[in-house]
C-alpha cells in the first residue's frame, strides 16, 4: 500500500457570524443550546477532535461578547499542542465572514477548510477525507451526499394558471448526478485567495447567488473534487433540524450514531 501523503499545514475558518433567522431563537445560531451546550462549542470540539487544524479562525457576530468569552474559555481548555484559536468579527454575508477569517490566517498556512458552525455534528471522518484529498494534490475538495428527493426546476406561472398554482414545472434534474453539498470545504490557500478576490468583482445579484466557496472556485474554472460527506453533518437551519440534532446526541440511536 502507498504511504498517505504528508498533511498540509491547515487552518479551519469556522463561520459562526449568522443571525439564525430561520431557527427563530432570537439569538445568533452559534449561541443556541444543543444538548446543553451552545452550537458553537459542538462545532469547535469537532474540529479539534479531528486533529485537522493548526489554526482555527472563528468568525463571530460583531460585538457578541458572550460568544467571544466562550471562545476565550475554550482556548484555555485546549491542551498544549492544540490549534491556535483566533477570533474575528464576521461580516454581513457568509462570504464576508469567510474573508474576515482569511485576513486572520497565520503565516505558513498551506490549506484552508471553510466550515459552517451550523454543521456542528460533522464527524471527524469527513474532515479527514477532505484533508487527505488536499494532501494528495486536489486544489479544491467538497464533501457531499446523494440526494434522496426527486428535484425539479420551476418557474412562476403566468396568465390564468396563476389563479390555482403559483409555479409551473420546467424540468427534472437527473437524480443520480445530484449531490447535496456540505462543509468543511477544503482549498489550497492560493485557490481560496484567488476565488475570494474574484468574488469582489461580482455584481450584487451575482454575489447574492453565491452560497458556498466551491461556487467561487467553479467560476475560476478550477476543478472541484467531491468526497463522501455524512448525513450526520446536517446543517442546523430550522427548528426541525435542531430536533434532529438533539436526537442524534441524545435519542435512541445515541452514541451508536456515528456515520462515516
Among 78, 91, 105, 222, binds ligand CTP (CB under 6 A): 91
Quote the CA–CA distance of 78 and 82 in Å, as a whole number: 6
Among 16, 34, 56, 114, binds ligand CTP (CB under 6 A): 16
Q: For residue 116, state whether it binds ligand CTP (rule: CB under 6 A).
A: yes
Q: For residue 34, state whether it binds ligand CTP (rule: CB under 6 A).
A: no
Q: Which C-beta is closer to ligand CTP: that of 29 or that of 129?
A: 29
Residue 235, contacted partner among Mg ion, ligand CTP, none, CB below 5-8 A by kind: ligand CTP
Residues interacting with Mg ion, by CB under 5 A?
Answer: 18
Residue 32, contacted partner among ligand CTP, Mg ion, none, CB below 5-8 A by kind: none
CB 39 within 8 A of CB 117: yes
Residue 213, contacted partner among Mg ion, ligand CTP, none, CB below 5-8 A by kind: none
Q: For residue 94, state whether it binds ligand CTP (rule: CB under 6 A).
A: yes
Quote the CA–CA distance of 232 and 230 in Å, as a whole number: 5
Q: What letters, b where the CB count within 10 A reaches 16 and e where it falls short, cover 104-131?
A: bbeeebebbbbbbbbbbbbbbbbbbbbb
Size of the site for ligand CTP (CB under 6 A): 22
Q: Which stretch binds ligand CTP (CB under 6 A): 10-18, 151-159, 162-170, 186-194?
A: 10-18
Strands 179-181 and 111-116: unpaired
Cell of 230: 455524512
Q: Which C-beta is closer to ligand CTP: that of 28 or that of 83?
A: 28
CB atoms within 10 A of CB 155: 10
- Minimum CB–partner distance for residue 124 and Mg ion (Å): 26
Cell of 143: 464533501
Cell of 247: 436526537
Residues near 68 by Cβ (< 8 Å), separated by ≥ 6? Answer: 60, 87
Q: For residue 29, state whether it binds ligand CTP (rule: CB under 6 A).
A: yes
Tell me which residues touch ligand CTP (CB under 6 A): 15-22, 29-30, 59, 90-94, 97, 116-118, 235, 237
Amino acid at each position: 500500500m502507498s504511504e498517505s501523503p504528508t498533511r498540509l499545514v491547515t487552518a479551519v475558518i469556522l463561520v459562526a457570524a449568522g443571525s439564525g433567522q430561520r431557527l427563530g431563537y432570537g439569538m445568533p445560531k452559534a449561541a443556541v443550546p444543543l444538548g446543553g451546550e451552545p452550537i458553537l462549542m459542538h462545532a469547535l470540539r469537532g474540529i479539534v477532535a479531528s486533529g485537522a487544524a493548526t489554526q482555527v479562525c472563528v468568525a463571530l457576530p460583531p460585538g457578541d461578547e458572550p460568544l467571544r468569552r466562550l471562545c476565550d474559555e475554550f482556548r484555555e481548555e485546549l491542551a498544549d499542542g492544540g490549534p491556535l484559536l483566533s477570533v474575528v468579527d464576521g461580516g454581513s454575508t457568509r462570504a464576508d465572514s469567510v474573508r474576515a477569517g482569511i485576513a486572520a490566517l497565520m503565516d505558513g498556512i498551506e490549506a484552508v477548510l471553510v466550515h459552517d458552525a451550523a454543521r456542528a455534528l460533522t464527524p471527524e471522518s469527513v474532515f479527514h477525507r477532505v484533508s487527505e484529498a488536499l494532501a494528495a494534490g486536489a486544489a479544491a475538495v467538497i464533501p457531499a451526499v446523494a440526494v434522496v428527493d426527486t428535484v425539479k426546476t420551476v418557474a412562476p406561472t403566468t396568465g390564468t394558471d396563476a389563479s390555482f398554482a403559483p409555479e409551473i414545472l420546467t424540468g427534472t434534474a437527473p437524480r443520480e448526478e445530484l449531490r447535496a453539498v456540505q462543509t468543511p470545504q477544503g482549498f489550497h490557500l492560493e485557490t481560496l485567495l484567488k476565488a475570494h478576490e474574484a468574488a469582489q468583482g461580482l455584481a450584487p445579484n451575482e454575489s447574492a447567488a453565491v452560497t458556498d466557496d466551491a461556487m467561487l472556485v467553479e467560476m475560476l474554472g478550477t476543478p472541484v473534487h467531491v468526497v463522501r460527506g455524512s448525513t450526520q453533518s446536517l446543517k442546523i437551519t430550522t427548528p426541525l433540524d435542531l430536533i434532529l440534532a438533539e436526537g442524534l446526541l441524545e435519542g435512541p440511536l445515541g452514541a451508536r450514531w456515528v456515520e462515516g
